[in-house]
Amino acid sequence: MNIDLILQNILNPPILFFLLGMLAVFFKSELTIPQPLPKLFSLYLLIAIGLHGGYELSHSGINTYIFTALFLAILMAIIVPIYSYFILRIKLDSYNAIAIAATYGSISAVTFITGVTYLQTIGVEYGGYMVAGMALMESPAIVVGLVFAALFSKDSADKDNSQDKKKTDWKEIFREAFLNPSVFLLVGALIIGIVTGQKGWDSMEPLFGTLFKGMLAFFLLDMGLIAAKRIYELKKVGLFLIIFAIAMPIFNASVGILLGYFFELTKGDTLLLALLSGSASYIAVPAAMRLSVPEANPGLYLPLSLAVTFPFNISLGIPLYYYFITILWG
């Protein structure tokens, strides 16, 4: 594998700011980015991604190719949490297996846009409709997790004799899956982008387009702080799961790449599909799992996703997956 591919990814300000954030924690600098500033950045990024994706969709329209790409995205979002669950059951109880499987079945928007930035850096084309793919990939894992929870951990429902509680939960969890803030805002901005087209984008671009990379760098500085703090919790997590948190993304990404290859997606779109498949959620799904499977230990699924998979994907994962692609495509 070419070291250049890695350097082209790492020697970008956003990734370097991520490293800087991690260093701040390791050196015990008291650098902090207090709430709600991280919230501001994530609202900004979701709106920006959605608007831009919508704008591009308003140009391209929907065709068979796009339909195929979106279909593959949903497919991956359904099968990844299913096979992850059975792999995890080797070592874990049902609750934790469900929560971790759902976490890895869903996606990380920031990983996605770091991949997009990488494609721009190396000058490879990709489609704006992949944003729609990302939006479609957020929720299925939550639904799969809930179905598994109903199938494989019924006993818990019995222990807790408040039956009405169980009923309300379903409504709440449905909301978590399809109306959680990330999905809602992303899809909303996507639709606004589609509806307002070129004219809308022209008025929004100065804030949501031109400033994008700077805001990403700012946000990744914060993600570095957050990820590094969680690293200290990894010692309680165990080797099996740490290996899982690196091997699983590579495996999922590889499945994505193979699918992209057989269905003749472009190299850029395939990288994004692979990255989405390989990324793990650290906001929406953990929240949904905490609500629906309180028995699972967030001290496992959060540090794995935040402190292992996320840093791995944005630093080494992206160029690695792209390397696989260049080999396959020849």
Partner 1 sequence: MEKMKKIEVIIESIYVNRLLELFKESDVTGYTIIRGIEGYGSHGLKTADEANDLLSNDYIFTLCKEEKFNKMIERIRSFINRYGGKCIISDTQVLLSLKESKYL
Binding residues for partner 1, per CB under 8 A?
32-35, 38-39, 42, 160, 162, 168, 222, 225-226, 229, 233, 282-283, 286-287, 290-291, 294, 298-299, 302
In the 8-state DSSP scheme, what is residue 63? Answer: -
The region of 42-50, 136-144, 247-255, 292-300 touching its own copies under the rule CB under 8 A is 42-50
Residue tagged 């100065």 (tokens): 206
Choose between 76 and 110: whose C-beta lies nearer to partner 1.
110
For residues 81 and 140, the answer to whether their CB atoms sit within 8 Å is yes
The region of 37-45, 239-247, 252-260, 306-314 touching its own copies under the rule CB under 8 A is 37-45
Report the residue from 62, 147, 151, 195 that binds its own copies according to the rule CB under 8 A: 195
Query: Measured between alpha carbons, how far is 315 from 4 in angstroms, rounded to an integer?
Result: 13
30 part of the interface to its own copies, by CB under 8 A: yes
| Chain centroid to CA 110 | 7
Q: Which two tokens stand for residue 26?
A: 């390791």
In the 8-state DSSP scheme, what is residue 93? Answer: -
CB of 38 vs its own copies, minimal distance in Å: 10
Q: Which one, of 229, 236, 238, 250, lies nearest residue 306 by Cα?
A: 229
CB of 8 vs its own copies, minimal distance in Å: 10
The region of 64-72, 100-108, 190-198, 236-244 touching its own copies under the rule CB under 8 A is 190-198
CB of 281 vs partner 1, minimal distance in Å: 10
Neighbours of 158 (CB within 10 A): 8
Q: Which two tokens stand for residue 240?
A: 């099996």
Q: Which one, of 176, 182, 209, lies nearest residue 287 by Cα?
A: 176
Chain residues 138-177 in contact with its own copies, contact rule CB under 8 A: 175
CB of 131 vs partner 1, minimal distance in Å: 20
Q: Which two tokens stand for residue 157?
A: 């429902």
Report the residue from 2, 4, 37, 327 that binds its own copies according to the rule CB under 8 A: 37
Query: Measured between alpha carbons, how far is 92 from 85 in angstroms, rounded to an integer?
Result: 10
Choose between 248 and 306: whose C-beta lies nearer to partner 1.
306
Q: Which one, of 7, 84, 34, 71, lies nearest residue 304 by Cα?
A: 84
Choose between 128 and 278: whose C-beta lies nearer to its own copies.
128
Q: How many CA atoms lie within 13 A of 164 on its CB side?
A: 0
CB of 258 vs its own copies, minimal distance in Å: 32
291 part of the interface to its own copies, by CB under 8 A: no
Helices (H) and strands (E) in the chain, counts: 18, 0
192 part of the interface to its own copies, by CB under 8 A: yes
CB of 297 vs partner 1, minimal distance in Å: 9
CB of 200 vs partner 1, minimal distance in Å: 25
